[in-house]
Amino acid sequence: MNLRLKTRAANYYRNWMVRQSLEPTRCHKSISHEMFCAETRLKSLSKWQKIICSLTNPENTNRIVSKQAYKEICRGIVNEIKVDIVNSTKTVSSQLLSLMDDTKIQPLSLRKLFEEIDAITKEYGEDNVEFRNGKLTVNIGNVTLTDHEEDVDLGRFTIQIHLSSPLPLDKIEVSSRDDICSESGYIHPHISGVQLCMGDGEEPAYEAICSGRLHDFFLILESTLKTYNPESPYKELSDWYNPNHDGECFCDFCERWVPDDVIVCCDKCDTVCCDECAEGIMCRDCGNWTCSNCTVQCTECLDEICPNCNETCSDCSEPCCDACAATCETCDSIICLTCASNCSECGGVVCKTCSYLCSTCGQVLCDKCQTECEDCGAGMCENCVNKCTECSNNICHKCSEHCCEECGRQMCKDCFEQDSGCLLKETTIE
């Protein structure tokens, strides 16, 4: 690129900077708009004030509605206008503060911009920098990217910028000179078409262009091209060297191809994900992994548990983990701790089906510890059992018949009916 072309390029760039410096900034435009709005509302306020004055003039006989109604309407409108003016004023104040930080482009001298162009040609070589039709084209050397699995040589790239309108940044064109494309036709993981997504480089690149540091701008773009960001490419680097993704699986969560030795697959729904995205549990019993959508929750401790290996309470049918499950000592069924009861006599665990309540005191009993009333069949605990004095049968409190206070005999119904009577009672009656 000869001296004349460098000067012309510098001129184009300077003309753009001069035009930009004359453009009002966003703050200026906002302030201008808000002040116009405030002025319009002030005029409206003045009009309504005249209307109110005429209404309140006792000499005005042309009222269509009552003076009170008109006053109420006007006051509403006037208040509304006042609020609008206050809001506009506040916006203007805030924008004036922002104006202090708002940076306008300061055009550099032609000499300084020429030095920038000159520095670019020294950086990349005279043969690799071209200026034609207002566009500055710079050939960048080889770009090799690595994802720590493979190094991929993507060949040489070209950056083209319109010096008469370098912004916005999406007008910058980056193309491949060697067309080393991925399986799906991408020339670079961070380029779609000819547009480089600059990511972290966007802000410094923007600042560099606005400050006239064109050399820095190209250095930033070059660094961006020569860096692979695996977090958010258009196309992963593996699409160049392993398009069939041999030895890899696609993670359904982060939507990336990952080595298959870091993959887990949900035993229930077959969802595949990498170890970074895996949220679920690895069951200690069956050794399978279940994703968080398919795990079940223990009804007691609320922990996530494997749906294949979890226990189910035979009473309430809710899932529970091993730690929260108990075994009924009568029928060996599995029950959760909420449904489990303890026999008040022996302390054994019983399910609802195998538990009995003492008909007298209501305590929980297991099958072994409960005693049946031989009259009515009701269950009783040991403390509530009465014995028939005559036949020694077990009887409950309800079925127990008392002879009299004197003898204190308790009898079952049969014995009571057959009883010839209490000698002590007959003696008293006589």
Partner 1 sequence: MIEISLISNSGCGMAKMISVVAGTTLANFLEVHFDGNPDDFKIRVRSNGMSVEVHDDYVLQDGDRVSLTPAKVDGAS
Q: Return the structure tokens found at 350.
A: 């019983």
The answer to whether 144 touches 151, Cβ cutoff 8 Å, is: yes
Identity of the residue, 3 or 65, whose beta carbon is nearer to partner 1 in the bound complex: 3
Q: Where are the alpha helices (DSSP H) in 62-201?
A: 67-101, 110-124
Identity of the residue, 207 or 315, whose beta carbon is nearer to partner 1 in the bound complex: 207
CB of 291 to partner 1, least distance (A): 26
CB of 152 to partner 1, least distance (A): 15
Identity of the residue, 187 or 358, whose beta carbon is nearer to partner 1 in the bound complex: 187
Q: Return the structure tokens found at 283.
A: 């069951």
CB of 137 to partner 1, least distance (A): 20
Alpha carbon separation from 340 to 18, 263, 322, 329 (Å, rounded)? 84, 40, 14, 10
Identity of the residue, 214 or 358, whose beta carbon is nearer to partner 1 in the bound complex: 214
CA distance 395 to 380: 9
The answer to whether 42 touches 85, Cβ cutoff 8 Å, is: yes
Distance from the Cα of residue 318 to its chain's centroid: 29
Q: Is 430 exposed, middle or buried (0-12, 13-18, 19+ CB in 10 A)?
A: exposed
CB of 158 to partner 1, least distance (A): 17
**What residues line the site for partner 1 (CB under 8 A)?**
111-112, 115, 118-119, 122-123, 189-190, 192, 196-201, 203-204, 207-208, 211, 213, 215-216, 219-220, 223-227, 229, 231-234
CB of 310 to partner 1, least distance (A): 41
Identity of the residue, 104 or 409, whose beta carbon is nearer to partner 1 in the bound complex: 104
Identity of the residue, 145 or 415, whose beta carbon is nearer to partner 1 in the bound complex: 145
Terminal alpha carbon distance of the chain:
146
CB of 261 to partner 1, least distance (A): 26
Q: Which helix (H) or strand (E) holds 9?
A: helix 3-22
192: which strand partners?
Answer: 195
CB of 118 to partner 1, least distance (A): 8
Identity of the residue, 208 or 296, whose beta carbon is nearer to partner 1 in the bound complex: 208
